[in-house]
């Protein structure tokens, strides 16, 4: 027993700095959720602010915007999950049919690009190209003889602009896992199918797609944890009061309540609501992935 202890001390020493930093910047904020039950006053701090029970939660859910904001969040997030799930699969299957290596590699490199750009940069670019007066898209629409639309200022368009631009940014990166799964399919399966007279379409249906089904199931399951994540970075950099009605999401509301209006208790209460629901969703999705896709986190 003593000997074992002796061997293990370097492990504890290696882990110590990480454990400490995670404790301070992840676990202490978790304890900070008690602000949700306080009338928090920054001058008095967490330990001396008065307790108010469930008042902050009552206030949040009595606000007329809250339910609409939750609806917006789920609407935008679910659309992103569905479209962002399907597009990479189709794109990977199409890319897999390309036999010219140079072409394939070039396309891959180009479609990965948007993933590496921040929403500040892309937000700035989108604001510019979607400008109805002299933006690139406005020009194209005028060229077709139609009336340019102020996409970022219209409640009926805004959620779809979010979904479309998010899918555009991430679909390329999403193909990586499927392309890897496709290349790991045993080539002799295709050979055998060819001998049996299967054409390319039949090969796709009966070999390629079954080959990536485990990955499809895994990615699909894990994405369920994002039902309340509509994408703060993106929305915050694209929205304006004009589109709060359909474009305001939980995270942006928390930001405005907490850091712009200094309603700390109320904002924390809404944040806690989101964290708890997300926790249940993520834990469920991990459990389902563990049971049915044989997924292990570590």
Partner 1 sequence: MSRFKITGLQAFQWFNYAFLSVAAFLCLVPIIHVLALSLSSASAAGAGEVLLWPVEFTLSSYKFVIMKEQFLQGTWVSAQRVVLGTAINCLLTILIAYPLSKSSRSFRSRSVYAWYFVFTMLFGGGLIPHYITVKSTGLIDSIWALVLPTAVPVFNVILLLNFFRSLPKEVEESGLIDGASHFRIMWSIYVPLAMPAIATITLFSLVGHWNSWFDGIIFMNDPHNYPLQSYLQTILIKRDVSFITPEEVKTLIHVSERTSKAAQVFVATLPILLIYPFLQRYFVSGIVLGSVKE
Residue ranges in 168-197 that form contacts with partner 1 under rule CB under 8 A:
168, 172-173, 176-177, 180
CB of 125 to partner 1, least distance (A): 5
- Residue span binding partner 1 (CB under 8 A) among the ranges 56-64, 135-143, 153-161, 185-193: 135-143
Residue 155 in contact with partner 1, rule: CB under 8 A? no
Rounded Cα gap, residues 47 and 24, in angstroms: 17
CB of 154 to partner 1, least distance (A): 18
CB of 73 to partner 1, least distance (A): 15
CB 111 within 8 A of CB 175: yes
DSSP-assigned letter for residue 196: T
Phi, psi of 51 (to 5 degrees): -85, 140
Surface-to-core class of residue 108, CB atoms within 10 Å of its CB (0-12 exposed, 13-18 middle, 19+ buried) = middle
DSSP-assigned letter for residue 208: I
C-beta of 14 vs 242, nearer to partner 1: 14
Contacts (CB under 8 A) with partner 1, residues 13-52: 14-15, 17-19, 21-22, 24-33, 35, 42, 45-46
Contacts (CB under 8 A) with partner 1, residues 58-87: none
Judged by CB under 8 A, the residue of 10, 43, 187, 241 near partner 1 is 10
Between 264-292 and 55-62, two packed helices, what is the crossing angle to 10 degrees?
90
Judged by CB under 8 A, the residue of 122, 182, 216, 249 near partner 1 is 122
CA angle, 121 as apex, 116 and 126 as ends, to 5°?
110
C-beta of 47 vs 64, nearer to partner 1: 47
CB of 155 to partner 1, least distance (A): 19
Contacts (CB under 8 A) with partner 1, residues 235-264: 236-237, 251, 254-255, 258-259, 264
Rounded Cα gap, residues 117 and 136, in angstroms: 19
Residues sharing a CB contact under 8 Å with residue 206, sequence separation 6 or more, in sequence order: 193, 198
Residue 233 in contact with partner 1, rule: CB under 8 A? yes
């Amino acid at each position: 027993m003593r000997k074992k202890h002796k061997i293990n001390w370097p492990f504890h020493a290696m882990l110590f700095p990480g454990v400490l930093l995670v404790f301070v910047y992840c676990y202490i904020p978790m304890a900070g959720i008690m602000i949700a039950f306080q009338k928090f006053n920054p001058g008095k701090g967490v330990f001396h602010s008065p307790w108010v029970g469930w008042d902050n939660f009552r206030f949040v859910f009595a606000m007329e915007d809250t339910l609409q904001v939750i609806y917006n969040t789920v609407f935008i997030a679910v659309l992103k999950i569905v479209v962002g799930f399907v597009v990479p699969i189709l794109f990977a299957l199409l890319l897999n049919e390309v036999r010219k290596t140079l072409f394939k590699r070039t396309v891959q490199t180009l479609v990965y690009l948007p993933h590496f750009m921040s929403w500040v940069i892309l937000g700035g670019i989108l604001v510019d190209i979607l400008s109805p007066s002299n933006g690139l898209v406005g020009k194209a629409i005028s060229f077709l003889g139609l009336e340019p639309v102020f996409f970022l200022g219209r409640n009926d368009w805004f959620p779809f602009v979010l979904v479309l631009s998010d899918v555009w940014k991430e679909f390329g990166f999403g193909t990586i896992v499927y392309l890897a799964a496709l290349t790991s399919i045993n080539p002799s399966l295709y050979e055998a199918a060819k001998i049996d007279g299967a054409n390319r379409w039949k090969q796709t249906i009966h070999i390629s797609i079954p080959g990536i089904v485990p990955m499809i199931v895994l990615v699909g399951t894990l994405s369920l944890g994002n039902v309340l994540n509509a994408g703060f970075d993106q929305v915050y950099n694209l929205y304006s009061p004009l589109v709060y009605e359909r474009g305001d999401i939980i995270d942006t509301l928390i930001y405005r309540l907490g850091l712009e209006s200094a309603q700390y208790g109320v904002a924390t209460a809404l944040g806690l609501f989101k964290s708890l629901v997300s926790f249940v969703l993520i834990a469920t999705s991990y459990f389902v992935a563990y049971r049915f896709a044989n997924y292990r986190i570590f």
